[in-house]
Amino acid sequence: MASKQPNLFAFPSVPQLASTLRTYILTAQAAGLQRHNSFKIAVSGGSLPKTLAQALLQPGSGTEDEVQWDKWEIFFADERAVPLDHEDSNYALLKKELLDKIEGEKMPVVYPIDVRFQDDVQEMADQYEQLLVRSFASRDSVKLPIFDLLLLGCGPDGHTCSLFPSHPLLRETDAWVSPISDSPKPPPKRITLSLPVVTHGVKIAFIATGGGKKEIMKEIFEKGNGLPCALVNEGAGERCSWFVDEAAVQGVVFPRKGSL
């Protein structure tokens, strides 16, 4: 259990949220570049890529405010076991909303799943874990990979990545990447980063917008109830920040932070 509370930033509108999210991401980028001359992030699917595009595709206002795409290494916090051009693919969504719209020649390195293992999600998870091992150094010497930043969504049931409420995967302590074949949200077959990998990130940011999230936000911040998003809050504490619009936290009494 982390000692300090997560940060909750609430904005009147999504464009205002996106603008502060950009500053937050670029601060994390600068820290990553200083640490290892690259920026290693994990991203979710769902509603996140669209907001991310709003944050990152706006023109920068100077050197400190530039996205250094060629230094980015993008991994997936979770992915569905479908072809990369399938409408359920988180990669396809990120490509459509963000990657295809990046201008210029400097592009991020993106690590999609290996779809050859689409019918065997255990093998797919093992392969993705090996990819992380190669990128984050040997699994023997590194207990857990440390992402510079994880950008996550929050489902209306409190799930994040493909970690669902009350699912046994929430108790995974060994694997970095786990398969799931019974996702309550379709499609059923997926892979996901494990909870210890998520909470081990240097920074973890949730993005949640819209009134459809307000009931679950209340539960996450006021009761916890072992919900996956609440477990990330508890495990990461002040390293975890929430970027939400007012609609998503209407009626939530948890104190907001004024600035980054």
Ligand X SMILES: O=C1O[C@H](COP(=O)(O)O)[C@@H](O)[C@H](O)[C@H]1O
| Contacts to ligand X by CB under 6 A | 44-48, 78, 90, 152-153, 155, 160, 162, 185
Q: What minimum distance in Å lies between the beta carbon of 155 and ligand X?
A: 4
Q: What minimum distance in Å lies between the beta carbon of 247 and ligand X?
A: 14
- Residue (108 or 158) nearer to ligand X, CB: 158
Q: What minimum distance in Å lies between the beta carbon of 88 and ligand X?
A: 9
Determine the Cα angle at 76 with ends 134 and 12, to 5°.
140
Q: What is the dihedral of CA 74, 77, 82, 86, to 10 degrees?
A: -60
- Nearest-CB residue to ligand X? 46
- Residue (190 or 200) nearer to ligand X, CB: 190
Q: What minimum distance in Å lies between the beta carbon of 198 and ligand X?
A: 11
Residue 67 near residue 56, CB atoms below 8 Å = yes
- Residue (35 or 166) nearer to ligand X, CB: 166
Q: What minimum distance in Å lies between the beta carbon of 158 and ligand X?
A: 10
Q: Partners of 66 in the beta sheet?
A: none
- Residue (29 or 90) nearer to ligand X, CB: 90
- Residue (44 or 233) nearer to ligand X, CB: 44
Q: What minimum distance in Å lies between the beta carbon of 44 and ligand X?
A: 3
- Residue (38 or 209) nearer to ligand X, CB: 209
Give dist(CA 85, CA 93) in Å, integer. 9
Q: What minimum distance in Å lies between the beta carbon of 184 and ligand X?
A: 10
Provide φ and ψ at 259, rounded to 5°. Answer: -150, 165
- Residue (30 or 88) nearer to ligand X, CB: 88
